[in-house]
Amino acid sequence: VDVQLRRRLNGPPVASVGIVGGGQLARMMQPPAVALGIELMVLIEDPTSGAGPVITRHIVGPPDSPEALRALAEATDVVTVDHEVLDLGLMATLETEGVVLRPGAATLAVAADKLAQKQFFVGAGLPTPDFIEVRSPADLAARPWPGFVLKSATGGYDGRGVWVRPSPTEAAAVLAWAAGAGVRLLAEEAVSPEMELAVVLARSPAGEMVVYEPVQTIQGDGMCRAVVAPASIPASFAALARTLGKQVAERLDVAGTMAVEMFLVDGEVLVNEIAPRPHNSGHHTIDACSTSQFENHLRAVLDLPLGDPGLRSPAAMVNLVGSRSGVDPRDRLAQGLAADPTARIHLYAKAPRPERKVGHVTVCDDDPRRALDRAWKVAEIMGGEVKR
């Protein structure tokens, strides 16, 4: 493991990982880093929230600062990311300069652009909902399906940048905005999935791969609200979902944890979107699996052997989301803990702005439906906006 060898020349034997972005994903990498003695360093804009209060070493700055990124790379063995809103050209340049970037710039370039993702799926022969690039109102008018979803290719997350079955007026407004902002748009055939699925996996540069059990994701307002593990689907679908996940990871040469979101629709499994990093659909792995997605991410980017992904118990995860009521889940910690002595509460040190994920609750229970019910209950008590 070359990164360890480098470190050992000038100090104790510590492998270190630099993280671009200091949100909850970076924050949740810290517990496994503590366990394994891995040193983390974040490039963070606001060191008072997310990963800031819990990771000793940080560089304060934006994720597209060449100086800050070079300082992060200089101080660590490998650089990874906690989001995809990056200067992709700069990341590619750094990689050319010798920065060990995992996932690599080519993977990030596909993941950061939904149009590139769709083109990659088609090129790789992976089933995915039909789509077109939308450059003009004429493109949209010529689409071959009535119901559609309009998406900005870049910059969207948690429902932002996605318009489901927009009205003609709304679609026209989006096109005008996109033309002005220089953002590419795509339209996808709207599908009505029987279930939304996600497969989380981790892959190391050495090519080792571990795949977590497929989960059901429950969406609301374009945002993942809850996850049930395992997804209650026939074994053949679960096997297919895992195979699709593995194909994506191999073809994209992913290093680290990756999530592949899918639709189960009309007896088919379609690939929807990918994220080459720990993902909301894998938060339950902290409490429900032998090795969490965060630990396996660190192990993978350092090219260490990966940990067993097995589900120790069925489980459900519900996000704590900021609500318009102004209730802060941090003020309801005692009530949440009292409500269910086996519930696992995770808070991200984030102010609860509306529609912002500020924490999550995981419950392990032999009955995954009961787990979901129990997790919703704790989430409701803690005052996040819950949409069952």
Alpha helix (H) ranges present in the chain? Answer: 2-8, 24-36, 66-75, 88-96, 105-111, 114-123, 137-141, 168-181, 235-252, 285-288, 293-301, 333-339, 368-381
Interaction of residue 211 with a copy of itself, rule CB under 8 A: no
Shortest separation between residue 227's beta carbon and a copy of itself, angstroms: 17
Shortest separation between residue 32's beta carbon and a copy of itself, angstroms: 8
Interaction of residue 334 with a copy of itself, rule CB under 8 A: yes
Q: Which of 166, 259, 252 is nearest to 217 (CA)?
A: 259
Of 39, 113, 188, 365, the one binding a copy of itself by CB under 8 A: 39
Q: How far is CA 121 from the centre of its chain?
A: 18
Name 331's Cβ contacts closer than 8 Å, sequence gap at least 6. Answer: 383
Number of other CB atoms surrounding residue 263 within 10 Å: 20
> How far is 84 from 86, CA to CA, in rounded Å?
5
**Cβ closer to a copy of itself: 48 or 136?**
48
Shortest separation between residue 31's beta carbon and a copy of itself, angstroms: 4
Shortest separation between residue 42's beta carbon and a copy of itself, angstroms: 11
Of 42, 255, 345, 375, the one binding a copy of itself by CB under 8 A: 345
**Cβ closer to a copy of itself: 216 or 296?**
296
Is 235 within 8 Å of 241 (Cβ atoms)?
no
**Cβ closer to a copy of itself: 133 or 331?**
331
Relative orientation angle of helices 66-75 and 88-96, to the nearest 10 degrees: 40
Interaction of residue 270 with a copy of itself, rule CB under 8 A: no
Of 310, 325, 353, 369, the one binding a copy of itself by CB under 8 A: 310
What is the rounded end-to-end Cα distance, in angstroms, of the chain? 46
Helices then strands (H, E): number in the chain?
13, 17
Number of other CB atoms surrounding residue 370 within 10 Å: 13
Number of other CB atoms surrounding residue 351 within 10 Å: 11
Which range binds a copy of itself by CB under 8 A, 147-155, 185-193, 323-331, 377-385? 323-331
Give the footprint of a copy of itself on residues 354-373 (CB under 8 A): 359, 364
Which range binds a copy of itself by CB under 8 A, 6-14, 104-112, 155-163, 217-225? 6-14
Of 6, 46, 53, 170, the one binding a copy of itself by CB under 8 A: 53
Of 17, 19, 25, 33, the one binding a copy of itself by CB under 8 A: 33
Shortest separation between residue 52's beta carbon and a copy of itself, angstroms: 8
Interaction of residue 2 with a copy of itself, rule CB under 8 A: no
Q: How far is CA 381 from the centre of its chain?
A: 26
Of 25, 54, 68, 275, the one binding a copy of itself by CB under 8 A: 54
Token pair of 120 as six digits: 């990659």
Residues in the chain: 388
Residue with tokens 């360890």: 4
Give the footprint of a copy of itself on residues 275-304 (CB under 8 A): 286, 290-291, 299, 304
> How far is 137 from 142, CA to CA, in rounded Å?
9
**Cβ closer to a copy of itself: 180 or 341?**
341
Interaction of residue 34 with a copy of itself, rule CB under 8 A: yes
> How far is 335 from 36, CA to CA, in rounded Å?
32
Q: What residues line the site for a copy of itself (CB under 8 A)?
A: 1, 4, 8, 12-15, 27-28, 30-31, 33-37, 39, 53-56, 286, 290-291, 299, 304-308, 310, 312-313, 328, 330-331, 333-334, 337-338, 341-342, 344-349, 351, 359, 364
